[in-house]
Amino acid sequence: MIKATGYHNNTSELIEKHTELVQKIAYHLMVRLPPNVLVDDLIQSGMIGLLEVARNFDATKGASFETFAGIRIRGAMLDEMRRGDWVPRSVHKNSRSIANAIAEVEKITGRDAKEAEIAKQLSLTLPEYHHMLRDVNCAKLVAYEDLATSEEGLCSEPASHDMTFNEVSESQFASKLVEMIKELPEREALVLSLYYDEELNLKEIGMVLDVSESRVSQIHSQALHRLKAKA
C-alpha cells in the first residue's frame, strides 16, 4: 500500500503499480453487463480515472491511495457506460417498477417484501418476476455504485468530479449503505457483502450459497432494488 507525506510526484509509478486494480474492477463489473459492453472499453475508462487520481491524490488527507483510486476508477467506468446509453427504456421502466412494488408491499405489510408478494404487486408470475430481475440486473441499473450518485439515491447531492479528495462524499455514502444493508433480509445482505466486500463474482457466491449463478443474480438484483426502494 502506497503511503506518502504529501502529493505523490511520481504519477507514472502510481499508474504502473495500479494497472492491475483497473483490470480487476473492470472484470468485476463485467459479470453484470450485457455482451455489447467490452472489457477493453471499461479498462480504458478506468485508466483515465486512475490517471486523474495519480495526478491529484493528496496522502496527507489520511486515506490510502487504493481507497480513492478504486472509487474513481469504478466511477470513470460507470460514467462511460452512462454516456453510451445502451440500456433500453423498457429496462429502466422495469427497474423503477420493481423498486416501487417493493416499497408499496413493505408500506402495506410493515416488513420485508417477499418475492411472491412483489411478483403479485407487479401482476406477474414468480418465474416472470425472476426473469425481470435477471434482465435489470444485467443492465446494472441500480447497482451499489449507481446509488451513490443518483439524485434519488443515498446522497443528498450528486458527486462532483471537481470535488477535492477531503470533500468526496463516498465515505458518507458507504457508511449509510452499510447501515441499510444491515436492514436487508439475511440472504440478500450476505450476497451484497460477498459481492462488494469480498469481491466474489456471482458464480463464486453461488458456490458459497449452494445455489445457481442465475439464482444469485436474482437475489443480487432484488437486494439492490430493495435498497433503491428504501433510499
Torsion of CA 15, 177, 189, 108, to 10 degrees: -150
Report the pLDDT value the prediction gives residue 114, as an integer from 0 to 100. 94
- In tens digits, the chain (231 residues) has pLDDT values of 444 434 445 778 888 888 988 988 888 777 666 666 778 888 998 999 898 888 887 766 666 778 778 878 888 887 777 666 556 677 778 888 998 999 999 999 999 999 999 999 999 999 999 988 887 765 554 444 444 444 333 433 334 444 333 333 445 555 666 777 888 899 999 988 888 777 787 888 999 999 998 898 889 889 888 887 876
Is 70 in the same domain as 93? no
Asked if the structure places residue 5 within a domain, the reply is no
Query: Which CATH number fits the domain that encloses residue 161?
Result: 1.20.140
Is 15 in the same domain as 80? yes
How far apart are the C-alpha atoms of 26 and 61, rounded to whole Å? Answer: 27
Query: Which CATH number fits the domain that encloses residue 58?
Result: 1.10.1740.10
Question: 35 is in which domain, residue-wise?
Answer: 11-84
Asked if the structure places residue 4 within a domain, the reply is no
Is 76 in the same domain as 109? no
Is 224 in the same domain as 145? yes
Asked if the structure places residue 2 within a domain, the reply is no
Task: Give the CA count within 13 Å in the CB-facing half-sphere of 193.
Answer: 15
Domain boundary among 50, 84, 118: 84
CA distances from 21 to 25, 30, 116, 118 (A): 6, 14, 40, 38
Is 40 in the same domain as 62? yes
Report the pLDDT value the prediction gives residue 165, as an integer from 0 to 100. 36
Residue 163 — φ and ψ, nearest 5°?
-70, 145
Report the pLDDT value the prediction gives residue 192, as an integer from 0 to 100. 84
Is 64 in the same domain as 173? no
Is 127 in the same domain as 188? yes
Cell of 148: 451513490
Is 97 in the same domain as 72? no
pTM over 0.75: no
Residue 90: CB atoms within 10 A of its CB come to: 10
Report the pLDDT value the prediction gives residue 157, as an integer from 0 to 100. 39
Of 46, 92, 87, which is closest to residue 70 (Cα–Cα)?
46
Given the C-alpha cell 487520481, which residue does it identify? 53
Is 79 in the same domain as 134? no
Is 167 in the same domain as 124? yes
Is 192 in the same domain as 101? yes
Report the pLDDT value the prediction gives residue 172, as an integer from 0 to 100. 53
Report the pLDDT value the prediction gives residue 63, as an integer from 0 to 100. 62
Count up the domains in the chain and report the number: 2
| Long-range Cβ contact pairs of 134-138 (< 8 A, separation 24 or more) | 134/214, 134/217, 134/218, 134/221, 135/91, 135/94, 136/91, 136/94, 136/95, 136/98, 136/221, 136/225, 137/32, 137/217, 137/218, 137/220, 137/221, 137/224, 138/32, 138/33, 138/34, 138/217
Report the pLDDT value the prediction gives residue 120, as an integer from 0 to 100. 96
> Rounded to 5 degrees, what angle do the CA atoms 166, 172, 178 make?
140
Asked if the structure places residue 121 within a domain, the reply is yes
Is 215 in the same domain as 109? yes
Report the pLDDT value the prediction gives residue 6, as an integer from 0 to 100. 40
